[in-house]
Structure 1
Amino acid sequence: MNNKKVRAVMNKLEEEYEEIHPKIYAFFYSKTGNRMTAEDLCHDTFYESCKNIVSYNGHSTLSTWVFSIAINLLKKYYRKNKYQQSLMQKLATLPEIEVHSLEELAEINEDTKILLHHISKLDDASREIILLRIYGELSFAEIGVLVGKSENYTRVTFHRLKLKIQKLMEVTL
């Protein structure tokens, strides 16, 4: 990639940073349950993106490429820390939610715990699709690129998983 193209891609990354950053952060936070770790991994993702900008070939969107770096950094983080991923461990650090009564808070927390419990029971590939769609706010095409499947596969899988979780939530509630 010549210098002109590198500068153009770098400019595009700078322009899209404000849109991509919150999605990357939410993805890391949903996976680690720790704000500081999510911030560190987010920083590392954009550092690696800038450092390796010459390897961006344009076969996918820039945000998909950045997310692939994020996923690889997360895997590296898990290996390095021998981290056993469990969504249930993250419940203690749920984001603050505006509530008007203790009953409402208890209901929200219980619903969230049940939802996260059902998501945690999914296989890794299914959980990845759900989290990339919900927290990463990625399109089905972008998720397909990241998980190595077609856009249609990710769309149908997400829909089926959503229905499955809704049924489980109805039974639990």
Structure 2
Amino acid sequence: MKQMTDEHIMQKVAEGNVAMLQILFERYHKQIYIFLYKMSGDKMLSEDLTQEVFYRLIKYKSSYNFDKKFVTWIYTIARNNLNTHYQRQKENHLALEGFEHKLVEPQASKNEEYSHLMNVLNRMEASDRELLILNRFQEIKYAEMAEILGSTTGAVKTKVCRALKKLKTLYLQKV
């Protein structure tokens, strides 16, 4: 039996079969949580925002554009939720573009290289960090990232390349 596409499932949800959302939840909740966690460094906030993402999927199910990929829509919702949270909390004047946070490192299985990488990533500008998290950790394709970020594929490739160069430079510096 052929697996249903995310877009087909979302169409069923939009038509009123909200039970189908369980499939999308199973496919995406961990990825969305990890994205939000890597951006915010806050486990509880990431859990809350992940729940909010799926609440919004139900609430705005009729606004989903079936010509677009589902993955771009869900990450756009996740980004917007995080941005809205920081705007509401007034933790930073620039919201998502410049908020500072303390990255909580992974549990016991961490090693020095991973820890160093995460510390370097944490020191980068939020826009560069977001590009690298979406592309390298979440494995979102350039075309999908372009749609999420409201940009072109070429511009996103260039920005990711520049962010990787910055990451490499910072990573190789002695702390």
Query: What's the TM-score bracket when you normalise by the shorter of the two chains?
Result: 0.7 to 0.9
Matching residue of 1:76: 84
Pick 1 or 2: higher relative contact order, CA cutoff 8 A, min separation 6: 1
The Cα of 1:48 is off from its aligned counterpart by 0.6
| Unaligned 5+ runs, structure 1 | 100-104
1:116 is aligned, of 99, 122, 141, to 122
1:66-105 mapped onto 2 (5 Å cutoff)? 66-84=74-92, 85-87=99-101, 89-90=102-103, 93-98=104-109, 105=111
**Aligned-partner Cα distance in 1 for 2:149–2:143:** 10
Give the TM-score, by structure 2 length. Answer: 0.76
Using the TM superposition, name which of 129-138 and 75-84 deviates more.
Answer: 129-138
2-structure distance, mates of 1:130, 1:64: 16
* Contact 1:13–1:62 (CA under 8 A) maintained in structure 2: no
Which amino acid in the other structure matches residue 142 of structure 1? E
Out of 120, 130, 140, the position equivalent to 1:128 is 130
Give 1:69 deviation, angstroms: 1.2
* Contact map agreement 2:131 2:163 (CA 8 A) in 1: no
1:146 equivalent in structure 2: 148
Please name the residue that 1:159 is paired with: 161
Which residue type is aligned with residue 112 of structure 1?
A: M
Identical-pair percentage? 25
Structure 2 unaligned segments of length 5 or more: list them.
Answer: 1-10, 93-98
Query: What per-residue deviation string (whole Å, max 9, x for no partner) do you get for residues 77-121 of structure 1?
Result: 00111123214x22xx2111426xxxxx5565345323422x2xx
Residue in 2 that maps onto 1:59: 67
Q: Tell me which moved more, 33-42 or 55-64.
A: 55-64
1:27 is displaced (CA, Å) by: 1.2
Give the TM-score of the pair, scaled to structure 1: 0.77
Higher helix share: 1
**Partner letter of residue 46 of structure 1?**
F
Cα distance between partner residues in 1 of 2:56 and 2:13 = 18
Number of matched residues? 159
Q: 1:39 to 1:15 in 2, by over 3 A?
A: same
Whether the aligned pair in 2 keeps the contact of 1:10 and 1:53 (CA below 8 Å) is no
Q: CA shift at 1:4, angstroms? A: 6.3
Residues 66, 4 of structure 1: alpha-carbon distance in 2 compared, 3 angstrom cutoff: closer
Aligned equivalent of 1:32: 40
RMSD of equivalent CA atoms = 2.7
- State the alpha-carbon separation in 2 of the partners of residues 22 and 169 from structure 1: 27
Counterpart mapping for 1:12-27 below 5 A? 13-27=21-35
**Distance change (3 Å), C-alpha of 1:142 and 1:108:** closer
Q: Which segment drifts farther, 66-75 or 45-54?
A: 66-75
